[in-house]
Amino acid sequence: MILPGSVSQSLAAALADQLDEPLAVVETDRFADGEFKLRVPDAGGDRAIIVAATTSAESHLELLQLQDLARANFDEVVTVLPYMGYARQDEAFRDGEPVSARAVARALSASTDRVVSVNPHEPTIGDFFDVPFDVIDAAPRLAEPLPDLDGPLFLAPDEGAVGLAETVRDAYGAGETDYFEKHRSYDTGDVAVEPAGTEPAGRSVVLVDDIVATGSTMAAAIDQLHEQRVAGVYVTCLHPMFAANARSKLAAAGVDGVWGTDTVERPTSAVSVAPAIADYF
């Protein structure tokens, strides 16, 4: 049985179709003091697959409740994290800070047999879990919604993300890859970004990233590329968080198209990672 978190209902339904598994209808009771309680009336069976992105404090607590009821009613519990909140807080950056990713991982390990995550920002967070932790690579899915482009340039935000851009390029079947370098003016102190070794002028550019959160960095990159007279700029990402006015920033910068997956369900979620998750099972 597939048990969906409230922010991952479409992905959970797609996975249920892919695996031909029943999809639970999760009921929620809310109380006057702000607490809530989940219920799955027909819970029970050999295996529960919980599909729940943790994009907020409430979604984290939802997941813990789903795990607890699954542990009591199923023989095996598998937790699928399409997007894991706090994963970028994988170290204490200053004295007196927690390692939030470790705290979350320990809590999520308590009532599951296995955790599966889709392209976590830092794969090493798996070391924080007390149960087996597997990673699913859904990056090739990002090529699917892209339009027909002539010799596109796939650009990563930094050298460390070139592998992601190469994966999308390979799945697309054409184009080159590069990454952005930052250059600071000694006279003004201004920072400019440009491809490290490729001339983008006159080309269609696809910006590839794992997460778009505030959109500020991506919008700045789009501005810089337009100054270099590119033919068009497109954005594709695995986890389209798009907090606050992020989507508007990209539009104001002159983006020609924006696509993401449904690890975080947004209007830009043009392609599903359900097939990649289904292949894992």
Question: What DSSP string runs through 113-165?
Answer: SEEEEES-SSGGGGGG-SS-EEEE--GGGGGTT----SS-EEEESSGGGHHHH
pTM for this entry: 0.93
For 278, phi then psi, to 5°, come to -60, -40
Q: pLDDT by residue (tens digit) across 8-38?
A: 999 999 999 999 999 999 999 999 999 999 9
Do 2-137 and 140-262 come out as alike in CATH topology?
Answer: yes
Low-confidence residues of the chain: pLDDT under 50: none
Catalogue the active-site residues.
182
Q: How confident is the model at residue 160, as a pLDDT?
A: 86
Residue type, 258: V
Asked if CATH classification 3.40.50.2020 holds for the domain at 140-262, the reply, yes or no, is yes
Question: Domain spans of the chain?
Answer: 2-137, 140-262
pLDDT digits (tens, 9 = 90+) for 143-191: 999 999 999 999 998 888 899 999 999 999 999 999 988 655 556 655 5
**Which of the listed CATH numbers 3.80.10.10, 3.30.420.10, 3.40.50.2000, 3.40.50.2020 matches domain 2-137?**
3.40.50.2020
pLDDT value of residue 185: 55
Spatial separation of the C-alpha atoms in residues 277 and 281, rounded to whole Å: 7
Determine the pLDDT at residue 279. 97
Phi, psi of 222 (to 5 degrees): -65, -45
Q: Do 69 and 89 contact (CB within 8 A), yes or no? A: no
